[in-house]
């Protein structure tokens, strides 16, 4: 399960560092598998090995490489971050609420503002809204955590409180564009709606 480590720079911009606990050999293997199994088709990121597809963020969002994530975007010019992490390990026995909590290692003075279970395209997700402190910067985090088989999927949005609402609707569209698929199948894109509130 990836851990989300978020860092705030002096200018209030947010950056993410997500690390895995696996040994180097396993990590290299995962990276090679991810590179071989994922692709972008008509603005849709498809990962056959991990069994999902999702619409890419655009219009002011810049995609950037971030170790431990499958997708990461930074909003310009303010630096809000949205990311997707997928980990296909055997964590079926761990409750979703515990998996959701593990995302927030590295954030101090954590306060859970809301946490609810939803159905997203027929899959149970735990949505958590959390406020906390990163170094000298206050942040709000919105995360959705889901599981299918051996895979856990985390969709995360991080921003300072004063900038949080500005890009939240776009993050919710990003979440709603996430769809589980059969692994190894050819994927068709479905329409988008509003993410669960």
What's the confidence (pLDDT) of residue 185? Answer: 43
- Do 171 and 142 form a contact (C-beta atoms < 8 A)? yes
pLDDT at site 132 = 96
Query: Whose structure tokens read 């669960």?
Result: 196
Q: Give the model confidence (pLDDT) of 120-157 as tens digits.
A: 989 999 999 999 998 788 999 999 999 988 899 999 99
**Does residue 25 surpass a pLDDT of 50?**
no
Locate tokens 């698929």: which residue? 181
In terms of Cβ atoms closer than 10 Å to its own Cβ (0-12, 13-18, 19+), residue 11 is: exposed
**pTM for this prediction:** 0.76
CATH of domain 3-180: 3.40.1000.10
């Amino acid at each position: 399960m990836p851990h989300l480590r978020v860092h705030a720079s002096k200018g209030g911009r947010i950056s993410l560092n997500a690390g895995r606990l696996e040994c180097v050999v396993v990590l290299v293997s995962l990276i090679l598998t991810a590179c071989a199994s994922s692709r972008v088709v008509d603005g849709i990121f498809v990962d056959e090995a991990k069994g999902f597809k999702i619409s890419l963020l655009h219009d002011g969002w810049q995609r950037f490489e971030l170790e431990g994530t499958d997708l990461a975007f930074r909003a310009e010019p303010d630096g809000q971050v949205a990311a997707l992490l997928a980990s296909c390990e055997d964590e079926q026995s761990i409750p979703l609420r515990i998996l959701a909590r593990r995302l927030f290692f590295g954030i101090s003075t954590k306060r859970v503002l809301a946490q609810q279970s939803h159905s997203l395209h027929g899959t149970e997700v735990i949505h958590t809204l959390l406020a906390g402190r990163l170094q000298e910067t206050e942040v709000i985090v919105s995360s959705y955590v889901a599981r299918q088989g051996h895979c856990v999927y985390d969709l995360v949005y991080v921003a300072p409180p004063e900038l949080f609402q500005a890009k939240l609707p776009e993050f919710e569209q990003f979440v709603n564009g996430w769809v589980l698929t059969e692994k190894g199948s050819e994927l068709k894109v479905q329409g988008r709606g509003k993410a669960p509130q």
